[in-house]
Structure 1
Amino acid sequence: MSTASTDLDEGGFTQAATAEIRGVDVAAVVAVPVVLVAVFALPLGVREQFVFESAAPTIRTAYLSHFVHRQQLHLFGNLAVYLVVAPVTYLLCVLAGRRLLFRATFVTLLTVFPFALSVMQLLFPRQREILGFSGLNAGLFGLLCVAWVVYVSKQFLSSESTQYAPALLFLICGVIALLTLPARAWRLEIGLGSVALGIGYLLLWVRSDQPDGARIRRGLNRPGYAELAGAGLGLIVSYPFVGFRDIVTVGTSVIDVYIHLLGFALAFIVVYVYLIVVE
């Protein structure tokens, strides 16, 4: 973790961000779209060999399928999401003094999560195939939620508490349930129950940390810090509507919202448990 202070009392946003950004981190973040574009440049017949099929799973396809796209629209959509979410998440982490958290999660997402997301497809009785980076993008959103809570707590609330981060998990899962579950699946009950739990966590968070109004106003008045918090919150709020629309087709394929939910929730839980254990 970074030991440099990123408290509001020291320096401006640009100065703090410049001091915390590392070339190796930028290179790692940039490498992902380069790899995705390079894989897409391969002949379609070669790419098809990397697609994971639940009826004939292999270790190779379990990993490589998450970096394969058949259509340009699918690739461009995933690239657009990644190129927005990854930099914002990185800045939230480093300006909250959590560089190691970003690095450890980023590496885990790119090495372990492809296997985990693929294996989970084997739970379905019908034949399925998966490809594309959206499941790993969903994992970045899971990290983004925890990073946002840590950043806001440190920069605006004089705290580094993470115990109330599940508020975002419950709120987002509640909205996702309301958007995607059929009425016969207890949609309202599950969705509203999850949202209620999220609101409960938020109330406990506010009551526990007892926000300092003067400090919050200082943060809002300093260029950069509030804008970054706003950008992160905007991405978090938009995620259910971007990743969990009704049925979306790309060519002859249907977007698998299950893998979006799995990637998001699994990453959130892994990051949250890691922080709780470490702290």
Structure 2
Amino acid sequence: MIVSADLAAFIDAIGPDELGRLIGWARPRYALLPVTSDDAAVSEGATVLRPASPVTVEVASVWPTQDGRGLRARLREKNEAFRAVVRAAGFEWNEREFCWTRTLNVLEGPAQHRVAELGADLLRAGFIVSVSSATIADLIVTGRWIPATKRWILPLKSGDVLLRWEKGGDEVWEATKHLRGAHWDTALQGTVISAARYADVRDFAERFAFAATPEADALLLAAAEAERRQLLVLDVPEPLQPKRKPRAKKPREVSVPDDLLAD
């Protein structure tokens, strides 16, 4: 294909990202994307898993970032089913990287397990999946990946604990309204409750599958121990009334005869 000088100058001027946006979702857009270090890692050690009846011949790639703090996913076609799966997994579209991205926190477990989790979801949805290592592929095939915990009991500096759960947990939200002494904190994006109500917190956690961090668990244990050390008083007696002293009698006035008075 011969490209005119004017067209070549135009392409150089706007850059590959803007050209990709002009072209739309067509396959040529991907050819303009630079190969990143993460992409290179995927292509070198990738393992491809295929479902019995793929919904498309395109391969969905899923990989962790090199620092282990994020996930990336990409399918080289516009597919609403793929979009629904990755959005449900907490991914957002990143125009700059031209892929779906998700940032991990320390509570979500190892990045490899999160890749395996999404890979398994995509396989169930009928997509051919490329994961970044044979280890991750083995986690998917054997089912040994650990699901992410999305509901947490977190410690607060005040000595209270914070209940935080995933978006859309309407059932949990309604149940927290019946927790005695609990209140919603917009800044913390969760429900705050005193650790002294440890029994209610434990029951709630068991009912709605919450996990506690070691620090939060220590707060609840300390509250339980403090209650155990309290003295149990079944009956509080009335205080003893002090005995009243008899009032002193006022002395009588006695007159002394004058002849008995000393001179």
- Tell me the TM-score normalised to structure 2 length: 0.30
Q: Relative to total residues, which structure has the larger helix share, 1 or 2?
A: 1
Question: Larger C-alpha radius of gyration, 1 or 2?
Answer: 2
- Tell me the TM-score normalised to structure 1 length: 0.28
Q: Relative to total residues, which structure has the larger strand share, 1 or 2?
A: 2
